[in-house]
């Protein structure tokens, strides 16, 4: 172990949930993420020396675009190699192989695994039998810790003092793991005020609201206009059709759509975020508004995941 890696609390550790990101660790991750972003922008060739010789396995039981691609891009930017396996239809999994056996086998091939699964707690279960670090890239409706990190990094970059802000979550707050992870992180580490606007059947669970309420103020809004008007950060999410009966999806789809007209209710200094993919809940005309931060948010995901891979594998 190098001298640098001895000082990293993430060295050779799994990344499973936001609870592990204490203030000291955040103070290590975010400046490194800034450095990574700057070095990518200037095409620093020495980036490729950082993880040369390392292999990342991206194994997703659920389809993904951005999370899969950004992990792959982050590893390759740092000089490492990547194996991506997303379609399990013709894999050993489809033949009945257990998650534990699959992960134990993959651990023989690579140095780190980014795992997405459709069951809550599955990634933690896999980590108990895995000899190499695992990154939780989403477990059902549970957590998505790297998304929460890049979201906080974006808020800090765009709005500076996160403690004084109000983050308003809009959309599917029942199933959205990005909402669950980010709300927990900003409440526990920053005491950031939280607002919620969702269809009745997709509201945040009573358990999560109670947990957040012990750490910060949590408000529910009855109208989209009010939610927009009070937000410093408007975090819009899609309705997750794949996690509900079709009849329920048909009932709630289209209940909220952010348009340039509605953005007239918003503060002059605020940002709109979205973890993507979007499915009609933000009108594409909003993309031209300088307060639309979601593509900058996506770029920040590359930087944060580069920082995490470096800290976990090289210290």
SS3 292: strand
In angstroms, the CA 199 to CA 267 distance is 23
Beta-sheet pairing, 81-85 with 112-117: unpaired
| Whether the Cβ atoms of residue 135 and residue 147 lie closer than 8 Å to each other | no
**67 assigned to active site:** yes
**144 assigned to active site:** yes
Find where tokens 């809550």 sit: 120
| Whether the Cβ atoms of residue 145 and residue 115 lie closer than 8 Å to each other | no
SS3 249: helix
**285 assigned to active site:** no
The active-site residue out of 42, 95, 214, 269 is 95
The active-site residue out of 39, 66, 203, 265 is 66
**14 assigned to active site:** no
The active-site residue out of 14, 67, 166, 237 is 67
In angstroms, the CA 315 to CA 301 distance is 20
Beta-sheet pairing, 166-170 with 112-117: unpaired
**95 assigned to active site:** yes
SS3 191: coil
The active-site residue out of 116, 175, 184, 238 is 116
| Whether the Cβ atoms of residue 114 and residue 57 lie closer than 8 Å to each other | yes
The active-site residue out of 144, 166, 175, 274 is 144
Query: CA nearest 34: which of 157, 127, 134, 142?
Result: 157
Which residues belong to the active site? 66-67, 95, 116, 144
């Amino acid at each position: 172990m190098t001298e640098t890696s001895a000082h990293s609390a993430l060295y050779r550790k799994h990344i499973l949930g936001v609870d592990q990101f204490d203030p000291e660790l955040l103070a290590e991750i975010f400046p490194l993420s800034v450095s990574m972003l700057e070095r990518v922008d200037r095409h620093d060739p020495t980036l490729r020396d950082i993880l040369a010789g390392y292999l990342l396995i991206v194994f997703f039981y659920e389809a993904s675009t951005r999370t899969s691609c950004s992990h792959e891009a982050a590893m390759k930017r740092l000089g490492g190699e990547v194996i991506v396996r997303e379609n399990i239809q013709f894999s050993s999994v489809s033949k009945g192989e257990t998650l534990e056996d699959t992960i134990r086998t993959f651990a023989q091939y690579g140095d780190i695994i980014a795992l997405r699964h459709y069951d809550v707690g599955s990634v933690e279960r896999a980590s108990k039998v895995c000899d190499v670090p695992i990154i939780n890239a989403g477990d059902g409706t549970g957590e998505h810790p790297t998304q929460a990190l890049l979201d906080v990094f974006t808020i800090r970059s765009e709005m500076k003092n996160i403690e004084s802000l109000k983050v308003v979550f809009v959309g599917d707050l029942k199933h959205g793991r990005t909402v669950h992870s980010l709300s927990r992180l900003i409440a526990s580490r920053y005491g950031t005020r939280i607002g919620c606007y969702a269809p009745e059947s997709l509201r945040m669970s009573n358990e999560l609201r109670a947990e957040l309420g012990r750490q910060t103020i949590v408000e529910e809004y009855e109208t989209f206009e009010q939610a927009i008007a009070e937000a410093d950060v408007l975090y819009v999410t899609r309705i997750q059709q794949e996690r509900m009966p079709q009849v329920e999806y048909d009932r709630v789809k289209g209940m909220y759509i952010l348009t340039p007209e509605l953005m007239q209710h918003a503060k002059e200094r605020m940002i709109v975020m979205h973890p993507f993919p979007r499915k009609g809940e933000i009108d594409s005309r909003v993309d031209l508004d300088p307060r639309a931060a979601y593509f900058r948010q996506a770029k920040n995901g590359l930087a944060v995941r580069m920082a995490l891979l470096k800290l976990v594998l090289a210290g």
